[in-house]
Amino acid sequence: MKQDLDRLMEERGIDALTVTGTPKTSRDLYYLTGPVTVTGCRVVKKRGEAPVLITGSMERDEAAKSGLEVKTWNDFDVMKITREAKTPLEGSVKSFAKMCEVLGITGTVAFYGTGDIPYAYAFLDALSKEGSIKVHAEAYNSIFSEARMTKDNDEIDKIDSVSRGAQEVIGVVRDFLATCSDKGGKIVDPEGREVTIGRVKKMILNETKARGMLLDEAVIFAQGRDSGVPHSRGDDAATLVPGKTIVFDYCPQGAGPGYFADITRTWCLGFVPDEVREIYDQVLEIQLRVLDELKVGTPCAEYDKMTNEYFDEHGHPTPMKETGKTEGYVHSLGHGLGLNIHERPRVSMFSKTEELLAPGHVFTVEPGLYYPEHEIGVRIEDDVAVHEDGSIVNLTTFPKDILVELKS
């Protein structure tokens, strides 16, 4: 949680931290500023003190909406320093040093945010050599990823709210498909028009927007062979057909852009072939078993191991046995969910960090099996939250029937 930042800074010997980017692209920045619209900014936080937001003077009104103390580059003579510098990089380094001087920042400074990769490297390398502060860069498991891994109840409510919206949309799509029928092997709507994936996706987009949510990631609505390639978005031009698996993986985001939900359902229209039914039942069985066994204090990796073992026992290829396969179980069981679609905790047996299930964790449980050559893909994904009191709640109550019956 946000209040853990000072403790984490102390544990890691960080005297001050700074985050750059925009609140939209740098989620660590958004975590501190909330939804403000500034073209670019820097947040600086000394250990034990409140964050300060620094931006251009043209942006000062928007920046103030963050509720943080706002300073502008002018407070550090950035324009003057930049003009007098021999190179832009020298200007950046000198401007940063001046800011540290004015704000009284010394010692070890940790850098976060999202930005241009060559600039980040060249700037931090130069700053490191300049030597007035010590550069601290966390390649993995940053203090933000650590703090953000544990949500407070307000954050869980935000994810829950997006998740409810998401389930409404999934319901609208399901209800629409149930009004359709099979006409000579193609799905047609009540007016007899063929239903394409593109049309369903348009419906999903409209329903998402109508609920004030965003769809930053393209929705997955993939059928047959495409459903067997986990991140295939599906072919917009294709008409839906009966009896093929449809993987509908949907990650809407709350306004801000804020928190994500991430839900998957797999459907067959009209009938379910035996081969599909067998695979579906296995995916469902292991998902329900995992959901049932979730317990605070257990390593998250355990649940992925359970899933690998279950699928292995049932004769499917798994990453536990062999890497790089595109059939069977080809991903990990889940991932944390928050301001990013993928964040900590990692629900993977191959994670290098032991993450024990803990209050504040919000994560997906999404086993799947994929057989693209057989035109089969199955994934069932729920979002689970562990509240501060340790209670574990599956936020996703949408039914898991694979069969969507058609009108005859």
Cα–Cα distance for residue pair 134/144, rounded to 1 Å = 19
Residues 335-374 that bind a second copy (CB under 8 A): 350, 352
Find the shortest distance in angstroms from Cβ 221 to a second copy. 13
Structure tokens at 390: 């340790």
Q: Which three-class secondary structure state does DSSP give residue 297?
A: coil
- d(Cα 118, Cα 359) in Å, to the nearest integer? 38
Nearer Cβ to a second copy (116/313)? 116
Residue 34 in the binding site for a second copy (CB under 8 A): no
The C-alpha atoms of residue 326 and residue 318 are separated, in whole angstroms, by: 10
Considering only the stretches 4-12, 83-91, 270-278, 305-313, report the one whose residues sit in contact with a second copy under the rule CB under 8 A: 83-91
Q: Which of 13, 48, 101, 137 binds a second copy (CB under 8 A)?
A: 137
Residue 271 within binding range of a second copy, rule CB under 8 A: no
Q: Is 80 in the site for a second copy (CB under 8 A)?
A: yes
Which of 181/232 has CB closer to a second copy? 232
Instruction: Examine residue 114 and tell whether it contacts a second copy (CB under 8 A).
Output: yes
Number of residues that bind a second copy (CB under 8 A): 62
Distance CA(59)–CA(72), nearest Å, equals 9
Question: Which ranges of 117-232 does DSSP label H, i.e. alpha helix?
Answer: 117-130, 143-149, 153-178, 197-210
Is residue 390 close enough to count as binding a second copy by CB under 8 A?
Answer: no
Nearer to a second copy, 103 or 120 (CB): 120
Spell 34-69 as b/e; 16+ CB within 10 A means b: eebebeebbbbbbbeeebbbbbbeebeeebeebebe
Strands 368-371 and 382-386: unpaired
Q: Is 199 in the site for a second copy (CB under 8 A)?
A: no
Q: How is residue 194 annotated by DSSP? A: B
Q: What residues numbered 217-256 form the site for a second copy, per CB under 8 A?
A: 217-218, 226, 229-233
DSSP string, 270-283: S---HHHHHHHHHH
Alpha-carbon gap, residue 307 to 332, rounded angstroms = 9
Region near a second copy per CB under 8 A, out of 107-115, 146-154, 280-288, 301-309: 107-115
Under the binding rule (CB under 8 A), the answer on residue 59 touching a second copy is yes
363 touches 336 (CB < 8 A): yes
H/E segment holding residue 220: strand 220-223
- Nearest distance in Å: CB 165, a second copy: 19
CA gap 56, 73 in Å, rounded: 6
Give the one residue of 124, 215, 238, 392 binding a second copy; rule: CB under 8 A: 124
Q: If binding is defined by CB under 8 A, does position 135 make contact with a second copy?
A: yes
Give the separation between CA 396 and CA 263, rounded to whole angstroms: 8
Cβ-contact 343, 227 below 8 angstroms: no
Q: Which of 8, 120, 215, 356 binds a second copy (CB under 8 A)?
A: 120
Q: Any contact of residue 330 with a second copy (CB under 8 A)? A: yes
- Closer CB to a second copy, residue 167 or residue 318? 318
Instruction: Among 7, 10, 11, 119, indicate the residue that binds a second copy (CB under 8 A).
Output: 119
Q: For residue 125, state whether it binds a second copy (rule: CB under 8 A).
A: yes
| From 323, 389, 399, 408, residue interacting with a second copy (rule: CB under 8 A) | 323
Please give the DSSP secondary-structure letter assigned to residue 59. G
68 is an interface residue for a second copy by CB under 8 A: no
How far apart are the C-alpha atoms of 82 and 294, rounded to whole Å? Answer: 55
Selected from 110, 268, 276, 365, the binder of a second copy by CB under 8 A is 110
Q: Is 331 among the residues that bind a second copy (CB under 8 A)?
A: yes
Binding mask 280-319 for a second copy (x = CB under 8 A): ---------------------------------------x
- H helices within 220-335, ranges in order? 274-293, 300-313
Residues making contact with a second copy (CB under 8 A): 20-21, 25, 37-39, 56-62, 74, 77, 79-80, 82-83, 87-89, 92, 110-126, 135, 137-140, 142, 217-218, 226, 229-233, 319, 323-324, 326, 330-331, 350, 352
